[in-house]
Structure 1
Amino acid sequence: MNKATETLTFSEQVNFLVTNRLPRRWLTLFIGRFSKIENPIITKISLTIWQWFAEDLRLDEAKKTKFTSLHDCFTRELKDGARVIDETADIVTSPCDAIVGEFGEINDGQLFQAKGFPYQLNELIPDVNVSDKYKNGKFITLRLKSSMYHRFHSPINCHVNKVTYISGDTWNVNPIALKKVERLFCKNERAVIDLHTGSEQHHITLVPVAAILVASMKFNFIKPTLDLLYQGPNEIDCKQSFTKGDEMGYFQHGSTIILFASSNYTFCEEVKKGARVNVGNALLEGHLI
């Protein structure tokens, strides 16, 4: 094991202890409120500290250069043309900027959050009308680092009839946590968004999973913000159509989106575990008829 790997492993271990052994709900609520303080000095200090810990934070892509708060920076928009959307009709694109985690086949409803850590699809998506479509389908886990662009976009042309909100915990979703906490995604706060493709054979569903310091999902097409304080209905009806690449919403800090596809999709050759993908990059091909 080289020194770089040792350092990374130690860093991840410390990160796990700090972010998962503290009161997660309290810390998440505190950071959520703190991040929205609009004070030039606090914002400047907060961004400086953040950049110390996130060397890959790229604000040169942002539409604006000055931010009123930490939250304003977290949820920043990008300059026009900063992301190129693959317009090929058969292609499912990445809904977010992310690091590719586990991906592959779902075998009789079982998939993996990390090597040796399986979980059941119907625990993540309790609605059998949705989960059964992917019992032997495909999945790909997309992890948004805190430094990344936090808005997510439609991966296909589709329409959405409802958002299902599932309240839960706020475990960190970094790699070390995924190797330590069994069924982590099934425990965390999350939403299920079934994307109707217009085809009876091709199915795509997104499951944004919140995490510590996040626990806030804002969708542009429904009124409520889904967070730890939300006490409304679990199923929120809506009627919204999307063109591939249209913005759907954002995380407050950074988290994970798990994309599910029916078995007739195949992964594009560019999809590799640990690889960086951006909004609009090709993930799967579906051969639509």
Structure 2
Amino acid sequence: MTSQEASPPLKGEAKDGRGWLARLGAQEDLNFLLTNRIPRIAATRLMGRIANIESPAFTRLALKLWQLFTPLDLREAKKQTFTSIKDCFTRELKAGARPFDSRPEVLASPCDAIVGAMGTVHQGRVYQAKGFPYSTAELFGPTHDASVFEGGRFITLRLTSVMYHRFHAPADGTVEHVTYLSGDTWNVNPVALKRVERLFCRNERAVVRMRLSTGQPIALVPVAAVLVASIRLHWLNVLLHIGHKGAHEMPCSAPHLKGQEMGWFEHGSTIIVFVPTGFDLAEGIAPGAQLRAGQALLTLQG
């Protein structure tokens, strides 16, 4: 998993990424209306049950319908026959499909994603969209000191429903603590982020605190969304989902190598990356950029 070669464009995507993103944007107003005007938690639980139905015939039909409306591309999947929708959502990829940048100073993207809001943490405040701030203290929960990221950077990485849903360690390091915070399941698409204040702080999420082998603390905050039935964290061997009420503190000491799989979502969602001062953006990282897991996201200054 160590290479710096560029990945080919996704199926149905223009080489500059604009064709697929334009089609995606055209769907999102309707998507917001459909998913945020329903009982979100009930719908999410129902989706979890449907996704777990073990029926190859039902799964084939569901995937064919899904592909009529989205650019779902399964060519990189390790297997081509799925026993359930969840089996497809959480699919593994063929060996080598997501090479990770091997340079030790590079913090790689933990997942396939579209870059959303990003910037500098200022007075404990960051943004989900222009004019929609939220606080790191509220996002992280009452047990975390978020001040270590003051003056550092945050980058929002959004996974759509058709993307590869597993996420990986962005660098060598050790996961030291996880806090699971139950909450709502608002859609996290750009339309919702411009309409629902403090959305990430309202939704179900996990705060994963990690210390890099170079000594710097970072945080990955996977945020669930409507129809996302669970977040899996492999080193804890647990599923975090809306059935777990309240804040759950899980101290741990879990070493990870860069590129090692950390977990998965059962649908699309978001991971927010926080780093302290001392990191620069990697080349090409800007809102709207389309990334694959393993591409350079940030670089540690010399």
How high is the TM-score relative to the length of structure 1? 0.93
> Once the 2 structures are TM-superposed, how far is the Cα of residue 253 of structure 1 from its aligned partner?
0.6
2: CA distance, partners of 1:85 / 1:38: 33
Are 2:57 and 1:33 equivalent residues in the alignment? Answer: no
List gaps (5 residues or longer) in structure 1.
Answer: none
- 2:47 touches 2:229 (CA, 8 Å); kept in 1? no
What CA RMSD, in Å, does the superposition of the two structures yield over aligned residues? 1.9
Residue 232 of structure 2: aligned partner? 218
> Once the 2 structures are TM-superposed, how far is the Cα of residue 162 of structure 1 from its aligned partner?
2.3
Residue 276 of structure 1: aligned partner? 290
Residue 199 of structure 2: aligned partner? 184
1: CA distance, partners of 2:21 / 2:266: 30
- 1:130 touches 1:194 (CA, 8 Å); kept in 2? no
Give runs of aligned pairs for residues 12-27 of structure 1, distance below 5 A: 12-27=28-43
Residue 241 of structure 2: aligned partner? 227
Q: Tell me the percent identity.
A: 49
- 2:182 touches 2:245 (CA, 8 Å); kept in 1? no
- 1:109 touches 1:121 (CA, 8 Å); kept in 2? yes
- 80, 97, 106: which is aligned to 2:95? 80
1: CA distance, partners of 2:169 / 2:142: 21
2: CA distance, partners of 1:9 / 1:277: 17
> Which deviates the most, 218-227 or 8-17?
8-17
How high is the TM-score relative to the length of structure 2? 0.89
- 56, 81, 93: which is aligned to 1:66? 81
Residues 6 and 38 (structure 1), Cα distance of their counterparts in 2 relative to 1, 3 Å cut:
closer
Residue 102 of structure 1: aligned partner? 117
List gaps (5 residues or longer) in structure 2.
Answer: 1-19
Q: Per the alignment, in what secondary structure is the counterpart of residue 235 of structure 2?
A: coil
Residue 246 of structure 1: aligned partner? 260
In the alignment of these two chains, the number of paired residues is 283
- 135, 149, 169: which is aligned to 2:164? 149
Residue 45 of structure 1: aligned partner? 61
Q: Per the alignment, in what secondary structure is the counterpart of residue 160 of structure 1?
A: strand
2: CA distance, partners of 1:159 / 1:254: 26
Residue 194 of structure 1: aligned partner? 209
2: CA distance, partners of 1:76 / 1:233: 29
Q: Per the alignment, in what secondary structure is the counterpart of residue 212 of structure 2?
A: coil
1: CA distance, partners of 2:67 / 2:162: 8
1: CA distance, partners of 2:195 / 2:56: 39
2: CA distance, partners of 1:280 / 1:36: 29
- 151, 171, 174: which is aligned to 1:136? 151
> Once the 2 structures are TM-superposed, how far is the Cα of residue 224 of structure 1 from its aligned partner?
2.2
1: CA distance, partners of 2:253 / 2:218: 17
